[in-house]
Amino acid sequence: MNAAIRAATRSALAKKFEMVGIIGGYQGILDKNFKPLKTSDMGNIIQRGGTILKTGRCPQFVDAKYRKIAAQNLKEQDISALICIGGDGSMRGALDLWDDHKIPSIGIPGSIDNDVFGTDFSIGFDTAVNTATDAIDKIRDTAFSHDRLFIVEVMGHETGHIALEVGLACGAEEIFIPENPVTVDDAIQHIKRSLERGKASSILVTAEGKKPGRAYDLAEAIRKKSGFDAKICILGHIQRGGSPTARDRVLASRMGATSIEALLRGNCTAMVGIQNGEMVLVPLKDVTTKKKKLNTNLIKLARVLST
Ligand code: F6P
């Protein structure tokens, strides 16, 4: 996200606009937590994880009463347009501000879950996938040396984008994702087949599902049905931090710069996305009402490669 803030700020300043950072997301608008941004504030941040502007969930923003206060606060500060970086909740807030108060907003998808409609990738996904892949490579050393079965749980909220890419990248024996349910019996058969051909260690990757802890349920079900004892690793928030990959920094830089171009061209309610390598603008209406599909080719590929 810092790379996107840097790109948007420096692009705006280059065009002689002023840029104001809102500290803490939508809550920051309600709390009047504003900070003018200078080009020097953008130094030494591109390599940092998280966001220098801080963020948070703001449940009040679904209430029109609070959005009215937000609109007044923005007007008081002479803020004429917003750049909103975040997931589907942030995009919904931006659309509502436009619908209710005609405050132009350009969204930038920032979510490790990669579940935002209209973009092939959102900022943070590549870093999260690489972090989890690196962790599982390390876990595999123990799995192999000690002939063990591991279940590794990755983040992703209610989607399997992270689990699928990580599972593929790590050569997981089975990948459990909400979009393509694999049964416990399938997994047990898979482990047995591996044992028969002399492979005594297996790694199963699971998406967290509705809430973290799914790996424990899976391990219990596998133990009850087969007697196999699985070690559990829940990778958790390490996936949401750390220095972003070069790919994420470049994506965020492109999106940040494109967000300013979009505003200057008069766009009022769109999200910047990347589709087939190109920057695109997607109406916020679509972003907030359509569901992003998982790449089912990857599911098939993972299945073939993990036999
Ligand atoms: O939406 C991003 C995400 O990291 C999900 O993958 C995860 O379920 C959730 O946020 C965790 O949120 P929190 O840090 O608020 O518990």
Query: Based on the number of CB atoms within 10 Å of its own CB, is 64 exposed (0-12), middle (13-18) or buried (19 or more)?
Result: exposed
pLDDT tens digit sequence for 87-110 = 999 999 999 999 999 999 999 999
DSSP lists the bridge partners of residue 283 as: 270
Cβ-contact 90, 59 below 8 angstroms: no
Question: Which residue out of 88, 96, 113, 126 is catalytically annotated?
Answer: 113
In order of 12, 60, 81, 260, the CA distances from 70 in angstroms are 22, 11, 13, 22
Q: Ligand 1 centre from 211 Cα, in Å? A: 9
Q: Which atom of ligand 1 is nearest to the CA of 208?
A: 8
- Over range 8-16, report the average pLDDT: 98
> pLDDT of 129-171, one tens digit each?
999 999 999 999 999 999 999 999 999 989 999 999 999 999 9
To the query of whether residue 137 is one of the catalytic residues in this protein, the response is no
Does 17 have pLDDT greater than 80? yes
Residue nearest to atom 16 of ligand 1 (CA): 237
Interval 201-209 mean pLDDT: 95
**Residue 212 scores a pLDDT above 90:** no
DSSP symbol at 306? T
215-235 pLDDT per residue, tens? 999 999 999 999 999 999 999
Domains observed in the chain? 2-124+244-289 (3.40.50.450), 130-241 (3.40.50.460)
Structure tokens at 122: 């959102």
Q: How far apart are CA 155 and CA 137, in angstroms?
A: 17
Cβ 203 vs Cβ 175: under 8 Å: no
Most informative mutation of 57, 111, 157 for ligand 1 (most atoms within 8 A of CB): 157
The whole-model pTM stands at 0.97
pLDDT exceeds cutoff 80 at 307: no
